[in-house]
């Protein structure tokens, strides 16, 4: 393994670029204690397992890149040869700044194929290790691109997570529509702020949670109007409207007719 001498590293990394090293075999498979390095691990096999100090573990997919932030302790187990895993690590002011902007990932992140190219290019530069400023600058550029990929992955992960939560909120509304449900109760249920609940739900479904709650209540009340003999005020109470007037007003706003006319008109077509 070729590594730039310490004196050269000190010269070219003064807050501008990165210190770096290639992760050795024992550093990949043995306990890695928390340190200042940002670890990038490339898995060519899908049979590896990363175990963290808190007891959690992840199984990276084949041909995926994993980032583990500074201070995280982990071990990697694999039935395959170490040749199926390679890794590089970096530290320094610039690396820390990029990681901070990425919210310091500490879990497995699957990056786009282009990120693997950046990883391999860094490894190629490390193999050259000609101590030329041009080479080290090119290597720093690839690290920069790698961290940009992390930012992209972070944003994508957040978007996906928000979409999943929004879907769960929708299901929660539909299965609890006969309870006194509101944005406040939803926020408490999912440990989110009301503002966040409204934002992610509207981004996913194009309406606010309140609008969807009302729409779902009206759709449910239609079934009661057609399939039961419940009075209007009883249906209003079932779905926690303030009173019969509030229910009738809301029903007409959504359907264009009053509950009474809907029951009569639609019932005639049964």
147-167 confidence digits (pLDDT tens):
777 777 666 666 667 888 899
Note whether 139 and 124 are within 8 A (CB): no
Closest of 222, 214, 215 to residue 182, by C-alpha: 214
The H or E element containing residue 58 is strand 57-58
Token pair, residue 154, equals: 């972070």
Note whether 50 and 76 are within 8 A (CB): yes
Note whether 209 and 183 are within 8 A (CB): yes
Residue 45 dihedral angles phi and psi, to the nearest 5°: -125, 155
Residue bearing the bigger pLDDT, 211 or 71: 211
CA 54 to chain centre: 20
20-34, 127-141, 231-245, range with the lowest pLDDT: 20-34
Secondary structure tally for the chain: helices H, strands E = 11, 7
pLDDT at 70 over 90: no
The H or E element containing residue 77 is strand 74-77
Res. 9 pLDDT band, cuts 50 70 90: very low
Res. 219 pLDDT band, cuts 50 70 90: very high
- CA angle in degrees (0–180, nearest 5) for 61-149-79: 20
98-136 confidence digits (pLDDT tens):
666 655 444 445 666 678 888 888 878 777 665 556 666
Residue bearing the bigger pLDDT, 109 or 184: 184
pLDDT at 266 over 50: yes
Q: Are strands 38-43 and 85-91 parallel, antiparallel or unpaired?
A: antiparallel
Note whether 156 and 103 are within 8 A (CB): no
The pTM of the full predicted model, rounded to 2 decimals, is: 0.49
């Amino acid at each position: 393994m070729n590594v730039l001498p310490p004196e050269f590293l000190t010269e070219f990394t003064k807050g501008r670029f990165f210190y770096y090293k290639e992760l050795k075999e024992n550093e990949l498979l043995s306990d890695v204690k928390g340190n200042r390095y940002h670890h990038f691990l490339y898995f060519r096999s899908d049979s590896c397992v990363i175990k963290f100090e808190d007891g959690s573990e992840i199984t990276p997919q084949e041909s995926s890149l994993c980032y583990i932030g500074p201070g995280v302790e982990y071990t990697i187990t694999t039935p395959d040869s170490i040749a199926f895993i390679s890794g590089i690590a970096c530290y320094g002011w610039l690396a820390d700044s990029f990681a901070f902007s990425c919210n310091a990932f500490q879990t497995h992140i699957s990056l786009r194929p282009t990120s693997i190219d950046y990883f391999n290019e860094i490894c190629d530069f490390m193999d050259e290790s000609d101590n030329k400023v041009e080479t080290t600058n090119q290597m720093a550029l690839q690290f920069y691109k790698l961290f940009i990929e992390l930012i992209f992955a972070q944003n994508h992960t957040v978007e996906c997570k928000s979409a999943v939560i929004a879907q769960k909120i929708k299901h929660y509304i539909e299965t609890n529509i006969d309870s006194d449900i509101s944005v406040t109760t939803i926020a408490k249920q999912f440990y989110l702020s009301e503002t966040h609940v409204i934002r992610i739900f509207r981004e996913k479904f194009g309406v606010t949670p309140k609008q969807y709650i009302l729409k779902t209540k009206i759709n449910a009340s239609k079934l009661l109007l057609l399939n039961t003999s419940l009075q209007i005020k009883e249906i209003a109470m079932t779905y926690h409207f303030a009173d019969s007037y509030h229910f009738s007003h809301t029903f007409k706003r959504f359907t264009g007719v009053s509950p009474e006319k809907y029951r009569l008109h639609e019932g005639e077509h049964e």
